[in-house]
Structure 1
C-alpha cells in the first residue's frame, strides 16, 4: 500500500517543481519585459517633451500675434465708426472683460458709447414671462402695437429698441421722451440694470452673449428670448452685432449658436465669436461697419461662421476727367 510518506513526498515534489518553474520563468522573462517597459517610458517621455515644445512655440506665436494686433488696433479701426452712437447690451453671465476691452476699441474707432443695459436672469426666466408681458403693455406708448403672434420677449425687445435705438442719424444721441419711463420701469421690475445714459438713442448695438450655455427645461425659451432681443435691437437701429467666445457662446446651448441656428436672423444680425482675441475685437468694429451698409455675416472661428472677418469694402473710384483731342 502507498503510505502517507509517499503522498507527502509527492506533494512536496509538486510544489517544488511549481516554485522552480515560477523562478525560472520570472528570471527568463524579467529582462525583456523590463527593457520593453523602459523603452516605452523613454519614448513617451520624449513624445511629451516634443509636444510641450510645440505647445510652447504655438503659445509664443499666439502671444506675439496678439501683441502685434493690439498695438495696431487704433490704426486698424481709426474712423471706422466716426459719428456713430453705440449701445452695449449684456446678457447675464457675459464677460465684463470682453465688454471693457471692446469699449476701448469702439472709442478708437470714433464711436460714442451711449450706455449699457445689463439684462438680468429674471428677464430670460420663462416663469417671469407673464410679469414681463404685463409690464411691457403698461409701459409701451399708446400708439405702439404688436403682432398677434408676438411673445412677451418679442414685445420687450421691440419696446427696448424703440426706446434706446434709432435709424435716424439726426436723432442719434438724443433722448426719446418715453425712454426714461420705460427703462426705469424695467429696472424697477428687476429685468435690467442701467449704466451710463442709454436713453440717448444709439444707431448701433453690441450684444454680449452669456459665457454660460442655456441648459435644462427652460433652455429653448431662454434662447428664444435672447434671439428676440438681438433681432429687436437690430430692427430698431442701424444694425446689431452679437459677440462672445467660440468656446462658450458659440458652443452648444450658447447665445451665438442660438442666433446662428435662426435662418431669418442670420440674414440681418451679425455675430463675432472671437471677442476673447485682439483680432476679434477689431472684427466687431468691421462687422458694425458692415451693418451700417446693410450687410450681415457670421464671423470668427466657431461653428457656422462664414469667415473670420468681413470682406473689406471696395473703395469707390473717384471720377476722372477726360480731355478730348482734335
Structure 2
C-alpha cells in the first residue's frame, strides 16, 4: 500500500540534496578548489540527483493517480455493493472513552446503508474507578470471583460476553453507573456483529488490564468483531485490537473505510484493512456474495 506522505518526504529530501550539491559544486569550482576529475565527479552526482528527483516526481504522480482512482472506485462501488449485506443484522458498538460523533456517524451510516441496525451503543469511562466497581460487584450474588485487581481481565471478559449476548446483563446493570459515560439502545437483543472504538488515550495499570480482557472477550465472542478509531489517532489502538483477535479497518470517514467495515461485519476474511500503514492485509477484504432469497 502506497503512502503519499512517504513519497512527498522522499521528493523533498531529493530536492534538498540536489540544492546542496549544486551550491557546493558551484562554490568550490568557482574558487578553484577542485580539479577537473573532481568537478566531473561532482557533476555526475548532481546528474544522479536530478534523475532521482525526476523519479520521485513520477512516483508521486503515480501514487496520486492511484489514490484518486481508488477513491473514485470506492465512491462508485459503495452504493452498488453495500445495500443488503447486513439485512436484518443487529450491531452493537462499544467505545473505550467518549463517543466520537464523527466515527459514530460513519459507523451508523455504514450499518444503515447495508440494511442493518445499531441496537446499542455504550461508552466507557476511562480510566476505570476500581474501588467503585468492586463495591458494585459485591452487591451481585455469585460474582465475588471477579473481585480484586488480579481478576480485572476476567471482569472485562465477562462484560464482553454480556455485551455481545444481550439478554440478562447483571454486570452491566450493576456497573453501569460507575463505568458507563453514554448509553443508547437496549441491552436485550443478541448482537450479530460488534464494533469497538478506542477514543481514549492508551491506558496503564488496572485500566489497561481491564480493557485488554474486554477486547479479548469481544474477539472471542463468536461474532464478527471489528476495531476502528478516530482518523489520525496516535498512537493507534490497532496493534492491541489485532492481538485480541479483532479485525481492524481505518479511514472510517471515507467510503473505502465504510465499505471495509460492512464487509468485515458481514463475515469477510478477518484481517487489518484500510488505507493506512497498519492495513497489512490490503485496502479491502475479499467481497463475499450477498445471500439471495430463495
Alignment gaps of 5+ in structure 1 = 1-25, 319-326
Report if aligned partners of 1:133, 1:152 keep a CA contact under 8 Å in 2: no
Shift of 1:109: 0.9
Instruction: Check if 1:205 corresponds to 2:210.
Output: no
Instruction: Check if 1:185 corresponds to 2:158.
Output: no
CA distance in 1, matches of 2:86, 2:145: 32
Q: 1:94 to 1:67 in 2, by over 3 A?
A: farther
Q: TM-score, normalised by structure 1?
A: 0.60
CA distance in 1, matches of 2:262, 2:147: 36
Shift of 1:84: 1.9
Report if aligned partners of 1:132, 1:156 keep a CA contact under 8 Å in 2: no
Shift of 1:65: 0.9
Q: Deviations over 1:131-183 (max 9, x none)?
A: 43333444x4x366756897224325524652x5436xxx6xxxx68698546
Shift of 1:36: 4.1
Alignment of 1:239-254 (within 5 A): 239-244=224-229
Alignment of 1:61-100 (within 5 A): 61-92=66-97, 97-100=102-105
Q: Deviations over 1:94-126 (max 9, x none)?
A: 975444323211111111113432223313xxx
CA root-mean-square deviation = 4.3
Aligned with 1:243: secondary structure?
A: strand
Match of 1:272 in 2: 248
Q: Deviations over 1:219-256 (max 9, x none)?
A: 7x55543332234446668443223499968xxx8543
Match of 1:154 in 2: 154
Q: TM-score, normalised by structure 2?
A: 0.65
CA distance in 2, matches of 1:181, 1:238: 23
**How many correspondences in the alignment?**
258
Instruction: Check if 1:290 corresponds to 2:267.
Output: yes
Q: Deviations over 1:15-66 (max 9, x none)?
A: xxxxxxxxxxx64735554554454334324422331231132122112212
> Of 182, 186, 189, which aligns to 1:194?
182
CA distance in 2, matches of 1:32, 1:94: 66
CA distance in 1, matches of 2:54, 2:122: 48
Match of 2:215 in 1: 230
Aligned with 2:165: secondary structure?
A: coil
Shift of 1:90: 1.8
Match of 2:114 in 1: 109
Q: 1:60 to 1:240 in 2, by over 3 A?
A: same
Report if aligned partners of 1:86, 1:206 keep a CA contact under 8 Å in 2: yes
Report if aligned partners of 2:137, 2:175 keep a CA contact under 8 Å in 1: no
Aligned with 1:151: secondary structure?
A: helix
- Which one has the largest radius of gyration? 1
CA distance in 1, matches of 2:256, 2:111: 13
Instruction: Check if 1:166 corresponds to 2:165.
Output: yes
